[in-house]
Amino acid sequence: MGIYFYIFIFLIGLTVGSFFNVVIFRFKGSGTLKKVPDPLWRGRSKCLNCGSVIRWFDLIPVFSYFVLKRRCRKCKIRLSLLYPIVEAATATALLLLFLNNPTVSYLTVASAFIVALLILIIFLDVRYLIIPDKILILLAVAIVLRLNLNTTINITDFYRLFTVSLSNSLIFALGLTAFFGILYIVSKGRWLGLGDIKLIFLMGFLLGYPMGYLAVVAAVWLAAIFSVILIIQKKATAKTEIPFGSFLSIATIIFIIFNNELQKIATYFQ
Ligand SMILES: [Zn+2]
């Protein structure tokens, strides 16, 4: 693929990230700021402090944020750093996915949908410690589509392979979910939330064994290292809730993008 294709993917990523910002900031508003956001599909983007409609040239992903010196053009309130981070993260993840999977197929497109939804989950969980069911349902649909698009063989083989891989992933996903379900009950929901458990089920189903297992282990380690750093810096205590769903999503994204490389490691676990 040529350079223009990758520039195109990056620009799409920025645009999708910009839309994710609308989803994130209209989900519950902006905490300390006074304006109640419009419903997701209604109204133009407004400043959450002064309510002024944001002009189109101030809505260019990442770029506008820095041109405006990180402030609203009207009321000069400081804008959240989350805006450019969400846009840059979405664009970077999609670019890496297509760089690492240069043959564009239905499989890569379905993977791109899954990666994008996981990025949205990362930032919703960081901001609100919530993984909305609506997003999880969209993710489940994307995962089932990806399963379906996975094979290009004749229909009886397809059916056989589909049911075998389906039941294998399903059994593994249920086992993984049961394990974390017990942790949820034992910790009375302090170590992880119900949203995390639903996400773990989808991860297990998407990645199967051993990739799903390795991804969850990686997520637990990432979350643990992150918590220890916060505790050392005295920014958190052992009781602080951490966005575990974000770490699960980051691990899943890495396992989707670097699937081929990680498969080699996974053979040791089979
Ligand atoms: Zn304003």
Integer Cα distance of 105 and 108 in angstroms: 5
Per-residue confidence band for 220, with pLDDT thresholds at 50, 70 and 90 = very high
| CA–centroid distance, residue 51 to ligand 1 (Å) | 6
Mark the residues whose beta carbon lies below 5 A from ion ligand 1: 47, 49-50, 72, 74-75
Residue ranges covered by each domain of the chain: 1-104, 106-270
| Nearest by Cα to 74 from 59, 54, 45 | 54
Least confident of 103-117, 153-167, 233-247, 256-270: 153-167
Task: Considering only the C-alpha atoms of the chain, give the largest distance between any 2 of them, rounded to a whole number of Å.
Answer: 64
* Cα 243 to averaged position of ligand 1 atoms, centre (Å): 29
Whether 131 and 121 have beta carbons less than 8 Å apart is answered as: yes
Query: Which residue do the tokens 């297990």 mark?
Result: 204
**With the CA atoms of 244, 247, 252 and 258 taken in that order, what torsion angle do they form, in degrees rounded to the nearest 10?**
-170
Ligand 1 centroid, distance to 62 Cα (angstroms) = 18
Query: What is the SS3 string spanning 170-229?
Result: HHHHHHHHHHHHHHHHHCCCCCCCHHHHHHHHHHHHHHCCCHHHHHHHHHHHHHHHHHHH
Rounded average pLDDT over 40-58: 84
pLDDT value at 185 more than 80: yes
Q: How far is the CA of 83 from the centre of ligand 1 (A)?
A: 15
Cα three-residue angle 246-149-162, rounded to 5 degrees? 95
